[in-house]
Amino acid sequence: MSLHRLRSLTLGVPAAALDAVRGFYRDFGLAETRPGRFDTQDGGEQLRLAEAPRRALLALEVGVDDADDLGRVAASLAKLGVACERDGASLRAVEPVTAIGVALVVEPRVAQKPPPPVAPNRPGEPVRVDARAPAVTAAAARPRRLSHVVVTSTDCAASRRFFTDGLGFRVSDEIAGIGASFMRCSTDHHNVLVQPGPFSFVHHTAWEMDDVDAVGRAAAAMVAADASRHVWGLGRHAIGSNYFWYLRDPAGTFAEYSSDLDVIADAEAWKVAASSPVNGLAAWGPPVPASFLAPEDIVALARG
């Protein structure tokens, strides 16, 4: 795949909430290098905050291998009737339904250093003897990189065509009956999920952690500091297989700590599944709260 990673995203935040949202993502473990600009441990600057009338996903950046990839994408977008702007190292276009600006940027692939292996004690196979588990004493970890983003569209089929037929994303799985598509621009199971909504809004962003213990430590610390941040978790998704714990930032956007997401290295070996919405939410975990499925501020805006 010539696309190789979800490089960054820009979240729109109402001006009144901007300072509080910046504080949330600092506590979340992202490093604020400039006001409203945040780095992950491995991915560089991957989150930008910008003032907007309401919370929204304003822009995405995707890493590509070389300029030839930009030419292929420009030709594909032209077939869809989507205009784009191109220079030597980037291409920019706007997804027509959601108005999300997407930039493809030529850049080297990111190589991540794996964390030290931690083998758990298992029945009949104790590997850690006369020692405490490192997970119980470790400090809260920082997110390693941006994993994925979930947005809504009033025309999921058209948004899917933009990402797949236009940009070159691939569909990993679907949710039958509602038209939601899990799409990837890397070997991650999904980098963008588009699902139906009354209008376009950002549901959540997700950030890769070392393992389930890192997810639990970081989320527990966030909730201990402010219990109102908690949304849903700890659990394990069925689609994508990843562990999750969701929190809410002060503007209302959900932020997910995630680990152990499925990896798709061979597109021919992977079989796309059309899962039902119930089976797709979690293999195990607490009951899903109604506010996760229909965020209160979005319900109020839709009614208005």
Residue pLDDT, tens place only, 8-48: 999 999 999 999 999 999 999 999 999 999 999 999 999 99
Angle at 198 between CA 197 and CA 199, to 5 degrees: 90
The string of pLDDT tens digits covering residues 99-128 is 999 999 999 999 999 998 888 999 999 999
What is the phi/psi pair of residue 252, to 5°? 110, -5
Q: Model-level pTM greater than 0.85?
A: yes
- Residue 196: burial class (beta carbons within 10 Å; 0-12, 13-18, 19+): middle
All domains of the chain, ordered by start, with CATH? 3-109+141-303 (3.10.180.10)
| H-helix segments, 18-173 | 18-28, 67-80, 156-161
